[in-house]
């Protein structure tokens, strides 16, 4: 798997990187939403971990633009803000998950859930093809 971490705080990027380190694949980082657009286009990561509050292009706008260009993109918001309107705005922008920075280990749980779901779909596709 390939991951892209987008956060203007280098400490948070390192924390997320340490959580992802046990998974095989590449981990890339950038510090703002504008760089995230370029990095996504170049790398096509399996998952993007996007902060909401960044200078320049914020996480909601960056998510919206990534999803508009790449509808299959998997963007998980990682933020300090636990407010229902922000969660709804993130969902409307196309984010597939929302994790609070105080609960960063939820990132691992979310990825396991997606992995299990993909495995289940592949097994079901195999059964359909066999019949």
**Distance between CA 10 and CA 15 in Å, rounded?**
9
Looking at residue 1, its pLDDT comes to 83
**Distance between CA 106 and CA 19 in Å, rounded?**
10
The SS3 of residue 72 is coil
Looking at residue 120, its pLDDT comes to 52
Going from the N-terminus, what domains does the chain have, and what CATH number goes with each? 2-130 (3.40.50.2300)
Looking at residue 129, its pLDDT comes to 40
Q: Provide the whole-model pTM.
A: 0.85
* Cβ–Cβ < 8 Å for 46, 74: yes
Dump the DSSP string for 1-69: -EEEEE-S-HHHHHHHHHHHTTSSSEEEEESSHHHHHHHHHHH--SEEEE-S--SSS-HHHHHHHHHHH
The SS3 of residue 81 is coil
Looking at residue 24, its pLDDT comes to 73
Report phi then psi at 109, rounded to 5. -60, -45
Output the tens digit of pLDDT for each of the chain's 131 residues.
899 999 999 999 999 999 998 887 899 999 999 999 999 999 999 999 999 999 889 999 999 999 999 999 999 999 999 999 999 999 999 999 999 999 888 888 888 877 655 545 445 555 444 33
Q: How many CA atoms lie within 13 A of 58 on its CB side?
A: 8
Looking at residue 121, its pLDDT comes to 45
CA 62-63-69 angle, to 5 degrees, is: 90
């Amino acid at each position: 798997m390939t991951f892209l971490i987008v956060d203007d705080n280098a400490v948070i990027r390192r924390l997320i990187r340490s959580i992802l380190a046990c998974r095989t694949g590449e981990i890339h980082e950038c510090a703002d939403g504008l760089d995230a657009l370029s990095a996504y286009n170049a790398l096509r990561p399996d998952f993007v971990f996007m902060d909401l509050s960044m200078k320049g292009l914020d996480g909601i706008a960056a998510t919206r633009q990534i999803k508009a260009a790449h509808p299959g993109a998997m963007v998980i918001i990682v933020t300090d803000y636990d407010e229902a309107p922000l969660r709804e705005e993130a969902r409307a922008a196309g984010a597939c998950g929302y994790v609070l920075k105080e609960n960063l280990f939820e990132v691992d749980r979310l990825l396991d859930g997606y992995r299990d779901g993909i495995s289940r779909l592949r097994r079901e596709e195999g059964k359909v093809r066999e019949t």
